[in-house]
Amino acid sequence: MSVWAIGDLQGCYDATRRLLDTINFDPARDRLWFCGDLVNRGGQSVETLRLVHSLRASSVVVLGNHDLSLLAIGERREEEQRKVNPDLQGVLFAPDGRELLGWLRMQKLMHVDRELGWMMVHAGIAPKWTSQLAERYAREIEERLRGDQFGRLLKNMYGDKPAWHPKLTGLDRERAIINIFTRLRYCTPRGRISFEDKGPPGTQPPGLYPWYSVPGRVERDLKVVCGHWSTLGLFIGHGVHAIDTGAVWGGKLTALQLDTDELRVVQVRGRDVPANPPRPRPPHHRPAPPPR
């Protein structure tokens, strides 16, 4: 048996199939960990969701910001849903769209396997959160998403404020937790997120640090695998393995084997895109378009 973590798919079905073929994935024997952002921008989101859904017995998924945004859009009126891009509409209006969205809503915000020695999130973990704290906060959101009031959470999750504080309650607390797990790249030593800065390390203003190298951060007892930060590329350091390598932008789709002491990374080409394609500046968590 092999356990593989796979970076952001973002609707790149063809690249996903190439990667599964390259690692000789056998659903009867192997396990997959998907780092979130299964959908959006790749042009094959419904096919990608169907594929991951078909592999649900042999895989685990954590939710990314694009996945949560799709779930939120799925709760809006049809006239509003028809304003989003065709890739997401392909999911929303598919014959099996409601089934796929219902399954997606049941996925995790954080996956932990202490026996294997790994944990998986989409974007990052607050500097002062131990693995135990992070898991507890993730479970708060997962319970809300799986409950009867999930629509209220999805409607109110948008926004950059407030910054995380353990005494937060209600929707402010839920929004702050979601932002950390699904949008974090840079933050201050006190954990305040910079949502505007998305470039590789070295491009950020003074006083901001990649979340995994903030001075005074806690030491964690598990290795972390994550995605979300395509401009960071493949990064391994500080106990973190970041594997979003920009498949949707014409980069690579990356798999990392987790059940071996050797560092084994497998990559295939991502989506075929025109030379120097325009790269839109993704918006923040606001009700209209999907977030970054």
For residues 271 and 247, the answer to whether their CB atoms sit within 8 Å is yes
CA–CA distance, 56 with 126 (Å, rounded to integer): 29
Question: Per-residue pLDDT tens for 73-95?
Answer: 999 999 999 999 999 999 999 99
Question: Per-residue pLDDT tens for 120-144?
Answer: 999 999 999 999 999 999 999 999 9
Confidence class of residue 273 from pLDDT cuts 50, 70 and 90? confident
Q: What is the pLDDT of residue 291?
A: 47
CATH 3.40.50.920 fits domain 3-269: no
Percent of the chain with pLDDT over 90: 92
For residues 61 and 107, the answer to whether their CB atoms sit within 8 Å is yes
Q: Is 24 exposed, middle or buried (0-12, 13-18, 19+ CB in 10 A)?
A: exposed
Taking CB atoms within 8 Å and a gap of at least 24, the contacts of 128-131 are 128/191, 128/217, 128/218, 129/180, 129/218, 130/218, 130/220, 130/221, 131/220, 131/221, 131/222
CA–CA distance, 223 with 38 (Å, rounded to integer): 22
* Main-chain dihedrals φ then ψ at residue 3, nearest 5 degrees: -115, 120
Average pLDDT over residues 202-221: 96
Question: What pTM, to 2 d.p., does this model score?
Answer: 0.93
For residues 283 and 289, the answer to whether their CB atoms sit within 8 Å is yes
